[in-house]
Amino acid sequence: MGTIRISGAEAVIRCLLEEGVDLIYGYPGGAIMPVYDELYKFQDKLHHVLVRHEQGATHAAQGYARATGKVGVAIATSGPGATNLVTGIADAQIDSTPMVCITGQVGRHLLGSDAFQETDIIGISTPVTKWNFQVTEASQIPEIIAKAFYIARSGRPGPVLIDITKNAQFDEFDFSYEKCTGIRSYNPVPKLNLDKVAEAAALINSAKKPFIVFGQGIILGQAEAEFKAVLEKSGIPAAWTILGLSALPTDHPLNVGMLGMHGNYAPNLLTNECDVLIAFGMRFDDRVTGKLSTYAKQAKVIHFEIDPAEIDKNVKTEVAVLGDVKESLAALLPLLDAKSHDLWHNEFKELAKIEYESVIKDELNPKTAGLSMGETIEMINKHSKGDAIIVSDVGQHQMFACRYAKFNSTKSNITSGGLGTMGFALPAAIGAKMGKPDREVVAIIGDGGFQMTIQELGTIFQTQVPVKIVILNNEFLGMVRQWQELFFDNRYASTKMINPNFVAIAEGYHIKSKKVTQREDLDAAVAEMLASKDSYFLEVMVEKENNVFPMIPTGACVSEIRLS
């Protein structure tokens, strides 16, 4: 394209449009005001959502990115505006979420002078970004924004931050834009080694008890169809990390459940009985492995991964297959023998029966007078039929949602995994619904996490985005309380919550609301919520001291998983 002479602020908007951005989340302020002035002029092409706190902007951008697969965009001013983005940026970094954050900064001549609302956001954000850069001249803007989007979405995705000084926003230059297609010394996708694929296939074909564990890499790599084909040909049981949930339909016969601290009994126990462990797009997080020195020591480990830094970082591999998982799976499929592994599957089924009788039956059909979190999730399943996007916050309710929610399609489970950010779900649900307006989006939140970003009810009211919000209220910081009960002799230190009238608060934002305290009212309330064309707030009072099981205690082996 030719050049036009424009300001740096206008260039920012034109760059975003060139990258296909049509929705951004943010909060204005002095140092970013020139960009907001241009946003006003381009509002017919680029929709800006005014959040109520900058952290909400990053979580909304994350929800949008996770639901759509596109790059989420957040924008804020300098100083506290920029620092308020950091939690969401750190969350996006550890969960590999593509996001570009743009912050305003004081003028170049004021840098380092402790000017009003100046912070070194580049220094602060360096540990939690995939890349960051401070723009001090208007002419740098096109190249840096092009690089930012390329880096954010390529290879293993992640967040990028661009800090733009105020002079660079005001100054004019001759603008042209060229998308970035590569950066010297940055190789986001390793070249696939077909010999390694063949080695992996040979190990898999010779295995008597092969076991697949998969993570969000399947979703990020858009490899769901290839993964399903490999599963169905090989007949291997497969278990997921919480970020891998929904890559494979919940009711698929080869889906044996959830790995990790509060995962299912069979996949955790049998991790230490398989002879070949095949990992796809997961990083062997400590919540999955438990005590590393005892994790799958009997197994030969095959790791399919895009990020070389993850290979042998936690678990020693027999064969590492680096590359794009979609390409790797396509190369693996024709080399696999068709098998069923019926006897091996029966071991999973027998252990699943034990878990059902010991844990699941009473959780979904409790004998107590009070409602359980599990039965609430099951009621949502009944009315959503597994077609909703579930956005969960962090805590007991998150584990119950991941354990019991049903999913028919990919990109349907959105939660904060690696960072475990309370307050994530409400703004993330806004982003998910805006990204996928044709899908039902239900936020599952605890009474503690809800109050960390409760102000985003204002964003819902102003935008009229029809998000459904379910608060599972046990009047405790439930997960911390569970640990205090099990490991600290019932000393409930600072975990009891004295909560406000949540329904009144939601109604103050003109959101239709209901509170359920009795089991006989739950079915109708959930049905009414999901039938609503508008946003809806449902508070469900649940048992105060119900625990989520199974559980692998911190530092314990996966084989030491507890059912009670």
Structural domain spans, the chain:
4-175, 194-348, 369-541
Q: Provide the pLDDT for residue 2.
A: 79
Is 33 a catalytic site residue? Answer: no
For residue 1, the model assigns a pLDDT of 58
* Residue 152 CA from chain centroid, whole number: 15
Mean pLDDT by 10 residues, the chain (564 residues): 91 98 98 97 96 98 98 98 98 98 97 96 98 98 98 98 98 98 96 98 98 98 98 98 98 98 97 98 96 96 98 97 98 98 98 98 93 98 98 98 98 98 98 98 98 98 98 97 95 97 98 98 98 98 96 94 95
> What is the distance between the alpha carbons of residues 341 and 274, in angstroms, rounded to a whole number?
12
Alpha carbon of residue 547 to chain centroid: 24
What is the C-alpha separation between 253 and 334, in angstroms, rounded? Answer: 22
Task: For residue 116, count CB atoms less than 10 angstroms from its CB and return exposed for 0-12, middle for 13-18, buried for 19 or more.
Answer: exposed
Q: Do domains 194-348 and 369-541 have the same CATH topology?
A: yes
Is there a catalytic annotation at residue 452? no
Residue 522 sits at φ, ψ, to 5 deg, of: -65, -45
CATH classification for the domain delimited by 4-175, as one of 3.20.20.70, 3.30.420.40, 3.40.50.970, 3.30.2130.10: 3.40.50.970
Phi, psi of 328 (to 5 degrees): -65, -45
Task: Give the SS3 label for residue 96.
Answer: coil
- What is the domain class of 369-541 according to CATH? alpha beta
117 has catalytic annotation: yes
Choose, from 117, 436, 475, 528, the residue flagged as catalytic. 117
Task: Spot the catalytic one: 93, 130, 133, 166.
Answer: 166
Spatial strand order of the sheet with 300-305 comes to: 255-258, 238-240, 210-214, 276-280, 300-305, 319-322
Stated length of the chain? 564
Q: Is 338 left (phi over 0), alpha (psi -120 to 50) or beta?
A: beta
> Which among 41, 43, 45, 116 is annotated as catalytic?
116
Indicate which residue of 258, 373, 379, 479 is catalytic: 479
Closest CA to 60 of 24, 98, 21, 19: 24
- The torsion defined by the Cα of 359, 365, 366 and 370, in degrees rounded to 10, comes to 140
CA distance 469 to 178: 41
Is residue 560 annotated as part of the catalytic site, yes or no? Answer: no
Catalytic-residue membership of 385: no
Among the listed residues 10, 54, 305, 440, the single catalytic one is 54
Contact, 334 vs 200, CB < 8 A?
Answer: no
CATH 3.40.50.300 fits 194-348, yes or no: no
**Amino acid letter, 35:** V
pTM for this entry: 0.97
